[in-house]
Structure 1
Amino acid sequence: MDDELHRRLRIEQARALLDNADPRQAVMLACDLLMAGVNGDAVVALAAESARTLPAYDANRRLAAVIDELGLPELDLPTAVALIAADTCERILDCSIPAEVGTHRLYVVGYEGSPLDHLLPEVTALAAHLEDDLGGRADDDLRTRLGALARTILDRLKAENPA
């Protein structure tokens, strides 16, 4: 399995640990694993699911079976937070998720044991501005501030784990 597939698998594993795996991402990941030659029973079963109709609970369960089948270790909470935070920040910066979604996803920095918990007040302030002042619709200023926060988070994660 290449590094990018491994990274995607760990991100979905982290999502399942903290909340729910994204059913669409989990199914697409399983399909990509099959194309890369990783074809265990659990991978095949997840790939055979509908990306549109798979419930989150079932995505979590099927993803856990894939992780067990591949022999990957469980994630600890700080690692899961760092993976989700980094993925969210990358998506904010490449505009693949709306600023409104990214702002709320960054609440992950507040999880107990998070290496980024000191940034929770900044995330909270952005979310409050988004909801209270902007009525839930991001403006250019919020997008700029969110992008700066995303870069800060990525820089801090990189400094803590330079490998």
Structure 2
Amino acid sequence: MDDGLLRRLRAEQARALLDDADPHHAVMLACDLLVAGVDGDAVVALAAESARTLPAHDASRRLAAVTAELGVPEPDLPTAVALVAADTCERFLDGSIPAEVGTHRLYVVGYEGSRLDDLLPAVAALARRLEDDLGGRADDDLRTRLAALARTILNRLGRDPA
């Protein structure tokens, strides 16, 4: 399995550990694994699910079966936080999730043991501005501030924020 697929698998595994896997991402990941020649009963079963109708809990359960089948160990909590935070930042910066989603997903930095917990006040300030001042709809200033925070997080995690 190539590094990109492994990184996606680990990020989704971490998301499932902290909350629930994203059904769309989990199913698409399983499909991409099949295309890359990584197969197995659990991979096929997840790829066969509907990305639109699969409940998040079931996506998490099926993803756990995939990671067990592939021998991918579950990350510890601080690693899971780092994986989800990095994935969220990368997805926001590449435009695949909106600022409204990215802002709330970054609350993950506040989990106990997170090496990013000092950034929780910055995340909370952005979320307050988004919800209280902007009525839940991001403006250009909030997007700019979130992009700066995302680059800071990626730099702290040793990821290229380009």
TM range (shorter): over 0.9
Percent identity over paired residues: 83
Which whole-Å deviations, capped at 9, do the CAs of 1:120-155 have from their partners, x for residues lacking one? Answer: 001001110111111111111111111111111111
Once residues 107 and 85 of structure 1 are traced to their aligned partners in structure 2, the CA distance between those partners, rounded to angstroms, is: 9
In structure 2, C-alpha distance between the alignment counterparts of 1:69 and 1:10, rounded to whole Å:
14
SS in 2 for 1:158: coil
Could you list the runs of 5+ residues in structure 1 that have no partner in the other structure? Answer: none
1:41 corresponding residue in structure 2: 41
User: 5+ residue gaps in structure 2?
Assistant: none
Match of 1:27 in 2: 27
For residues 118 and 98 of structure 1, the distance between their equivalents in structure 2, rounded to whole angstroms, comes to 24
Offset, 1:57:
1.0
Tell me which residue corresponds to 1:65.
Answer: 65
Q: What residue identity is the alignment partner of 1:3?
A: D
| Runs of 4+ deviating beyond 2 Å | none
Q: What's the counterpart of residue 135 of structure 1?
A: 135
> TM-score normalised to the size of structure 2?
0.95
Q: Which residue of 2 aligns with 1:123?
A: 123
User: Which residue number corresponds to residue 56 of structure 2?
Assistant: 56
Partner Cα distance (1:140, 1:49) in 2: 37
What does residue 110 of structure 2 align with?
A: 110
1:79-122 deviation digits (Å, cap 9, x = unpaired)? 11101101111112122211111111110100111110000001
How many residue pairs are counted as aligned between the two chains? 159
- The AA in structure 1 aligned to 2:121 is P
Question: What is the TM-score when the length of structure 1 is the normalising length?
Answer: 0.95
- 2:47 counterpart letter in structure 1: A
